[in-house]
A and B are shown apart, each in its own frame.
Chain A
């Protein structure tokens, strides 16, 4: 059986597992969280927040990115935990590894579903943010959302965050895959995030901290003339970490002598 067919089977089974689980709702509701709050704030207090001469769309994106930068890593930690812990908690690693699929296929299926989940939730987040802006044209006209806005910019920004997140996502995925424990991956994730926030205050090597790539990648978003593709250093570093960690996770899983 060729690897493409095996992968199709593996992924199809993997997706089916999340039917009616918390994971499924998390993927939809979590990206809606910040946009919903933004909607309420702009709807109620829009005129006080967006003053004359301010660009409404840029303000909204800034409002979205700041909390998202803090909340999104937690979301990634949870998804990494859920996709792996579903097998630990139902005692099903041995079930899936006893099926006629290669270990590589099974690993790649899980990894791919994990990455796609993160991608989808970011794109949903971008879409919800745009919807907030568009809805203001109706519920709060005059804030400046009537001005044209490049939706492509928002999605490109989300894509950049996606790339810059893969690094820490791969680390969380690896830890969650190795550990039956729920707390350990969360602990390491939170420690990673907080340690970045401390070292970024003034340590020259802070830009190498994998939990900070996404934050650094969107750092200049509030400055005039921010170019999404201008500074890609954090995204590239993130990709290097991701390739290394996903490879390590795969090799560990393939070589595991005892399941």
Chain B
């Protein structure tokens, strides 16, 4: 079994009375791209800030590289590079000067600045003031400063947030390259499923502060043999009442269609019968293969709440 780079044990966190994280157990294996997935407000950023000790955890809850975070913070953060949510950049300085501020803090050699600029392809714009940077350039500059200390672990909070499609592809390739060629373990949060699906080897899904799934990306499919049923009909409101009475949960709906997870083919006829008995015109019944998106929606049930 590979070494665990990040391990959290029964991690919980409160903002006053609000429980933001509830017994989070994460285990990030060495060399993985670990996708940390969840809807907005699920607790992703909170978890990441705890991993960097920006939010204080309790002793024993967080271990990085097998060592207690709180007791060895300075040493451990020396092996971690982080990009936290919207970029933290001194706007009055150039890209290169921004890196110099961080370089001075960590004591990396000067030559490292050119190296990281090259990795994130920012060399040509390095001497431009950061206030003139596009969002994509800011994100890449943030990534460059995370790479300055040549970390073994990269923690990236929504690295593709706000990027245009070509920026997203570029960032994705960069992340995969850092993992494959430079051997870095990457912990990556996102609320965009397809993003994670294209990169990650391992995933955790968090919702409302709880971990709904953790493990290999492939394992997600087999663990949840959920099928989805898509129904086209004339009276959606009435149909929803009928279906809820049968104690199913609706995962998606619009003016003509309802989608819901089902466990068995028999559910289809059961639902159809109920709908017809209630004088609802059913135009189409279609069961769909599970997609990661469907699994995600099912796990987080966000449309039903």
Q: A1-B74, A100-B149 are in contact. Are A13 and B105 (CB under 8 A)?
A: yes
Question: Quick one: CB contact mask for B61-83 with A, threshold 8 Å, 1 for yes?
Answer: 00000000000011111101010
In the docked arrangement, what's the CA distance between A99 and B89, Å?
14
Of the stretches B49-57, B177-185, B190-198, B214-222, the one at the interface is B49-57
B103, closest chain A residue (CB)? A13
Question: Quick one: CB contact mask for A64-94 with B, threshold 8 Å, 1 for yes?
Answer: 0000000000000000000000100111101
In the docked arrangement, what's the CA distance between A258 and B46, Å?
10
Of the stretches B2-10, B93-101, B255-263, the one at the interface is B93-101
**Interface of B with A (CB < 8 Å)?**
15, 49, 52-56, 73-78, 80, 82, 84, 86-93, 97, 100-102, 104-107, 145, 149
Pick the 9 closest A-B CB pairs, nearest first: A95-B88, A100-B78, A13-B104, A100-B77, A259-B54, A92-B88, A13-B105, A12-B104, A98-B52
Interface check A6, CB cutoff 8 A = yes
Interface check A9, CB cutoff 8 A = yes
Interface contact A259-B101, CB-CB below 8 Å: no
Q: A94-B54, A98-B52, A100-B74 are in contact. Are A16 and B91 (CB under 8 A)?
A: no
A: contact size bracket:
20 to 34
Interface contact B54-A97, CB-CB below 8 Å: yes
In the docked arrangement, what's the CA distance between A50 and B283, Å?
103
Chain B residues with Cβ below 8 Å from A101 are 74, 105
- B25: min CB distance to chain A, Å: 22
Chain A residues with Cβ below 8 Å from B105 are 9-10, 13, 96, 99-101
A-B contact pairs, 24 of them (CB 8 A): A9-B104, A13-B105, A16-B101, A17-B90, A89-B91, A91-B87, A91-B88, A92-B90, A94-B49, A94-B84, A95-B84, A95-B102, A97-B52, A98-B77, A98-B82, A99-B102, A99-B106, A100-B75, A100-B78, A100-B105, A102-B73, A102-B74, A258-B54, A259-B54
